[in-house]
Amino acid sequence: MPKPRVLDLPPSPAALIQSLRDIGYSIETAVADLIDNSLFATSSEIDVRFSWNAGQPWLAIADDGHGMHEDELIAAMRFGSKSPLERRSPADLGRFGLGMKTASFSQCRHLTVLSRKAGVQSCCEWDLDTIAANTDHEWSLGVLGPGEVARRPVLSLLASKYLDKRESGTVVLWEKIDRIDRDISVERQEAVFNKLLADVRKHLELVFHRYLSPDRGHKGTRILMNEDPLAAFDPFNFRCATTVELPEEQFLCEGERVSVQPYVLPHHNKVSQDEYKKFAGISGYRDSQGFYVYRNKRLIIRGTWFRLIPKDELTKLLRVRIDIPNTLDHLWRIDVKKATAFPPESIATELRRIIAKIEISGKKVYRQRGAKIGDSAVVPAWQRRASGGTVHYEINRDHPLLESIQSSLPDQQANTLDELMSLIERSFPSDAFFHDFASAPEQIERPVYDEKSLIPLLDIIVTAWGGYSGLNGENISDLLGTEPFCHSRELTTKILSSKGARLD
């Protein structure tokens, strides 16, 4: 049989790289992708350096990892340096053999990698403009000798700061950063650049929090930005005493262990306003609920229920950590940016089962608060009535304050008072309240009763009961179980005693 003609048809480098620039990296995900490489190279310190450089901004990631020999570096510069099908070591954060190149070109047009291994330095560069100008469609990689490195001002500065005194390490340098809007004033451009890097910082503090603050017995990695160390941001607020850690679940998928650790974050009453806000994040609690998937302890996806359940107001404090190994990458459909992944059906089934169990715990935090209307006060001011699938709230007509006032009024006025209370109940602005409570519960003011506000209320009730000196033990215990006195028992007791009630 005649064989078909075979042609060698490599992709046009300029066109291919240009297309890869737009696969959806943000500067945050691009920097994180390079940090993955430094972490896998067993670095103990990684510094993200950047400078506006009078409108010629550059950014570099310098690590003290194991570095690369020249042949390794040349191989690493290739697009598709390793196949995703290749088996990787369990600690490898890479998968596609693309990240260093695609992440870099998503932000800049000139990538230089300078690496040192066993005291020997090697340097390679890709320049998009040179590649575009090359009409032969060749992948022309620049290989720089020590003299050329010394002639590049930024590169030589970074070499002497990070590599010359180290046995090994790598500097990845982005120049010709061109993702900043040039149609605005130069001052604004600089401000935008700095703001972007402040966002990068936050992103890294979250994505690598388990490297920055490792489990006991493990060595951490210092990550810095312009020499300023990052601080781990743990989205579960694990160190807070009022975060609830629910039982961990583990299951096997293709013989590999997946562990699922749910947490209920503290209700806003259990932490300071600042702390509550800090863990809300920019998108707020409701949006941040859900699964947080870690691949080799590196966060890849956050705050999603994978459409297994909706993001409900009542489950907004629920965040669930999932740990997956890199051997399950093919099932999760991890993308090059390490920013999206989807659970395969077998795992989704397990997750559905776990959600059904833990959803109740998340909701309990709120249900318990709702139930408090009747729980802490024996005689509440408001009552929650649930029947036939509907719920409504009503003012407690048996509250002694109301009873005292109503019994002191002529019938017609007592009826009017009852009408007024019905009006208050029916016109309660529940939509506005729900909105405020859902978006910023910590801003809702809770009434504080001091002596001045309690005395007139006590006077009305106690007068109707025959005066302070006539109170018996039962009256007093009723009062102390009645709202609002039940919330300020000590103060109420003090007032009663100062007014001549016998407390023994």
Ligand X SMILES: Nc1ncnc2c1ncn2[C@@H]1O[C@H](COP(=O)(O)OP(=O)(O)OP(=O)(O)O)[C@@H](O)[C@H]1O
Contact residues toward ligand X (CB under 6 A) are 33, 37-38, 41, 63, 65, 67-68, 76, 81-82, 94-101, 170, 336
Nearer to Mg ion, 57 or 94 (CB): 94
- How far is the CA of 418 from the CAs of 2, 412, 422, 425, in angstroms? 99, 10, 6, 11
Q: Which does 96 bind (CB under 5 to 8 A by kind): ligand X, Mg ion, none?
A: ligand X
Distance CA 371, CA 457 (A): 25
DSSP 56: -
Nearer to Mg ion, 98 or 320 (CB): 98
| Angle between helical axes of 186-207 and 27-40 (0-180°, round to 10) | 50
Rounded least distance, CB 10 to ligand X, Å: 18
In this structure, which amino acid lies at residue 52?
A: W
Looking at 57, 65, 99, 169, which residue binds Mg ion (CB under 5 A)? 99
Rounded least distance, CB 63 to ligand X, Å: 5
Rounded least distance, CB 23 to Mg ion, Å: 14
Rounded least distance, CB 37 to ligand X, Å: 3
**Part of the chain binding Mg ion (CB under 5 A), chosen from 33-41, 162-170, 199-207, 268-276:** 33-41
Rounded least distance, CB 336 to ligand X, Å: 6
Cβ proximity of 79 and 101 under 8 Å: yes
Nearer to ligand X, 62 or 471 (CB): 62
Residue nearest Mg ion, Cβ-based: 99
Rounded least distance, CB 72 to ligand X, Å: 7
In this structure, which amino acid lies at residue 159?
A: A
Nearer to ligand X, 58 or 96 (CB): 96
Listing DSSP states for 382-420 in one string gives EEEEEETTEEEEEE-TT-HHHHHHHHHS-HHHHHHHHHH
* Per-residue three-class SS string for 320-370: EEEEECHHHHHHHCCCCCCCCCCCCHHHHHHHHHHHHHHHHHHHHHHHHHH
Residue entry with tokens 């103990």: 44
Q: Which two tokens stand for residue 171?
A: 């500097």
Binding residue count for Mg ion, defined by CB under 5 A: 3
Instruction: Name beta bridge partners: 60.
Output: 49, 173
Nearer to ligand X, 63 or 483 (CB): 63
Strand 318-324 versus strand 290-295 pairing type: parallel
Nearer to Mg ion, 102 or 492 (CB): 102
Q: Which does 68 bind (CB under 5 to 8 A by kind): Mg ion, ligand X, none?
A: ligand X
- What's the distance, Cα to Cα, between the start and end of the chain in Å? 111
Tell whether residue 37 is a contact of Mg ion (CB under 5 A). Answer: yes
Nearer to Mg ion, 41 or 495 (CB): 41
Q: Which does 340 bind (CB under 5 to 8 A by kind): ligand X, Mg ion, none?
A: none
Cβ proximity of 311 and 305 under 8 Å: yes
How many whole angstroms from its chain centre is CA 391?
A: 34
Nearer to ligand X, 340 or 493 (CB): 340
Rounded least distance, CB 94 to ligand X, Å: 2
Tell whether residue 94 is a contact of Mg ion (CB under 5 A). Answer: yes
Rounded least distance, CB 107 to ligand X, Å: 14
Q: Which does 81 bind (CB under 5 to 8 A by kind): Mg ion, ligand X, none?
A: ligand X
3-state secondary structure of 200: helix
Residue entry with tokens 């019994």: 407
Q: Which two tokens stand for residue 325?
A: 């190994």
Q: Which does 116 bind (CB under 5 to 8 A by kind): Mg ion, ligand X, none?
A: none
3-state secondary structure of 440: coil
Rounded least distance, CB 173 to ligand X, Å: 12
Rounded least distance, CB 263 to ligand X, Å: 29
Rounded least distance, CB 293 to ligand X, Å: 16
Q: Which two tokens stand for residue 222?
A: 């210092």
Q: Which does 223 bind (CB under 5 to 8 A by kind): Mg ion, ligand X, none?
A: none
Distance CA 253, CA 350 (A): 10
**Part of the chain binding Mg ion (CB under 5 A), chosen from 94-102, 153-161, 241-249, 251-259:** 94-102
**Part of the chain binding Mg ion (CB under 5 A), chosen from 91-99, 188-196, 226-234, 280-288:** 91-99
Nearer to ligand X, 101 or 110 (CB): 101
Nearer to Mg ion, 117 or 316 (CB): 117
Tell whether residue 65 is a contact of Mg ion (CB under 5 A). Answer: no
Q: Which two tokens stand for residue 38?
A: 């430094």
**Part of the chain binding Mg ion (CB under 5 A), chosen from 29-37, 198-206, 342-350, 477-485:** 29-37
Q: Which of 321, 331, 293, 291 is nearest to 309 (CA)?
A: 291
**Part of the chain binding Mg ion (CB under 5 A), chosen from 95-103, 147-155, 179-187, 488-496:** 95-103
CB proximity list for 60: less than 8 A, separation 6 or greater? 48, 49, 50, 154, 158, 171, 172, 173, 174
Nearer to ligand X, 82 or 499 (CB): 82
CB proximity list for 485: less than 8 A, separation 6 or greater? 454, 457, 458, 479, 492
**Interface residues toward Mg ion, by CB under 5 A:** 37, 94, 99
